[in-house]
Amino acid sequence: MQQILIDTDPGVDDALAILFAMLSPELHIEAITTVCGNAPVAQATQNLLTILSVLDLDQFPVIAQGEAAPLVKPLVTAAHVHGEDGLGNISQLRNADGSLLYRPANTEVSSITGIDLILEMAARYPDELVIVTLGPLTNIAKAIRKDAPKMRHLRKIIVMGGVFEAYGNVTTTAEFNIFVDPHAAHEVFHFGVPVHIAPLDATHQVVLTGERLHAEVDKRDSPVSRFLKDSTQACMEFYRQHVGFWGFHIHDALPIGMLTHPDYFESVNAYVQVETEGTLTSGMTVADLRRERQSSNPNAQVCIKVAAEAFLDHFFERLQ
């Protein structure tokens, strides 16, 4: 059983990734920390509680709220993609009697900070804990700043973020998680703990169409499937209008799949740097991924290829 901490900015694709992880028996989701990103961190924390309410849990991961602002840059959120509430506006859905269709789970948010929960878990599971980051890397960078010796004992950090040989999704050159906090990404990538990156180059290979999603949802009638349908409508409409297809990329599900079915993913070693000051290129991840140029001192593995259809089948096998 792999000991996992998820750091997240839910976020519609974060929601699907969290459900995927919680429904994967290989993984023990010991703790979940929230970070500012798709939504302000207080909203992200409320969204996490709502996501967990969809599952019939008798035991919850420890939850703690993380940083409200990036290390240096002003916060940029993504309501235009994920809805005003960050979860596809499901907070507007009502039952016939007018009550909320989706309510936060009946569990506590820890009184300690996200950073302190990360450090507590790193100390509890030395050389075993894997941190999966689904949002900006602010919490991880601040945990390293606060207690680097503890963080050195992380087994691995799996990062959804960056883009290398394709266009960005915020600017031409930058992917959202790195764009929001490039300084944090720089510090994490150069800290020395093994880093495995799932960039847009990989996540864009997985195309979840609205037709496929609805077909899968219609096969089941479960709280998870109903949440899948309800939470993704706004995001898929954004994609229809701005990306060119009705559906979306389940970016954040890939790091989870890299743990549950690693054989579906191919990666290369690389020396990854982050542009933190560029006027046009702030948040750009820079690495030479050509096999003949593989770095002699790599600081990360970068996923470059996904068995997309097999991964989607695996994803839906879990989200029942």
Question: Which residues are known to be catalytic?
Answer: 251
Q: Quick count: other Cβ atoms within 10 Å of Cβ 220?
A: 14
**At residue 169, what is the residue type?**
N
Residue 222: half-sphere exposure toward Cβ, Cα within 13 Å: 16
Tokens read off for 37: 């990103």
3-class DSSP assignment, residue 127:
coil
Give 145's strand partners: none
Tokens read off for 256: 């989870």
Rule CB under 6 A: is residue 37 a binding residue for ligand RIB?
yes
Query: Among 51, 22, 12, 54, which Cα is nearest to 224's?
Result: 54
Q: Quick count: other Cβ atoms within 10 Å of Cβ 58?
A: 4
From the CB of 270, what's the least distance to Ca ion, in Å? Answer: 22
Helices (H), 28-137: 41-53, 79-82, 114-124
For Ca ion, give the closer residue by CB, 39 or 268.
39
Give 29's strand partners: 4
Rule CB under 6 A: is residue 135 a binding residue for ligand RIB?
yes
C-alpha 205: how far from chain center: 17
Binding residues among 161-180 for ligand RIB as defined by CB under 6 A: 169, 175-177
Q: Give the range of 7-15, 207-215, 288-296, 309-317 binding ligand RIB by CB under 6 A.
A: 7-15
Number of residues that bind ligand RIB (CB under 6 A): 15
From CA 183, how far away is CA 249, in angstroms rounded? 26
Query: 176 is in the binding site of which of Ca ion, ligand RIB, none (Cβ under 5 to 8 A by kind)?
Result: ligand RIB
Rule CB under 6 A: is residue 160 a binding residue for ligand RIB?
yes
Number of residues that bind Ca ion (CB under 5 A): 6
Binding residues among 10-39 for Ca ion as defined by CB under 5 A: 11, 14
Rule CB under 6 A: is residue 252 a binding residue for ligand RIB?
yes
Q: For Cα atoms 161, 232, 65, give the angle at the middle one, nearest 5 degrees.
A: 55
From the CB of 250, what's the least distance to Ca ion, in Å? Answer: 11
From CA 7, how far away is CA 34, in angstroms rounded? 6
Binding residues among 92-121 for ligand RIB as defined by CB under 6 A: none
Rule CB under 6 A: is residue 196 a binding residue for ligand RIB?
no
Q: Which of 83, 135, 136, 283 binds Ca ion (CB under 5 A)?
A: 135
Q: Give the range of 8-16, 113-121, 187-195, 220-228 binding ligand RIB by CB under 6 A.
A: 8-16
Query: 169 is in the binding site of which of ligand RIB, Ca ion, none (Cβ under 5 to 8 A by kind)?
Result: ligand RIB
Query: Among 304, 40, 18, which Cα is nearest to 180's?
Result: 40
From CA 299, how far away is CA 194, in angstroms rounded? 7
Q: Which of 33, 34, 38, 50 binds ligand RIB (CB under 6 A)?
A: 38
C-alpha 71: how far from chain center: 19
DSSP label of 74: P
Query: 201 is in the binding site of which of ligand RIB, Ca ion, none (Cβ under 5 to 8 A by kind)?
Result: none
Rule CB under 6 A: is residue 13 a binding residue for ligand RIB?
yes
Q: Which of 7, 14, 67, 120 binds ligand RIB (CB under 6 A)?
A: 14
From the CB of 135, what's the least distance to Ca ion, in Å? Answer: 4
Query: 275 is in the binding site of which of ligand RIB, Ca ion, none (Cβ under 5 to 8 A by kind)?
Result: none
**Contact positions toward Ca ion, by CB under 5 A?**
9, 11, 14, 134-135, 252
**Contact positions toward ligand RIB, by CB under 6 A?**
9, 11, 13-14, 37-38, 134-135, 160, 169, 175-177, 251-252
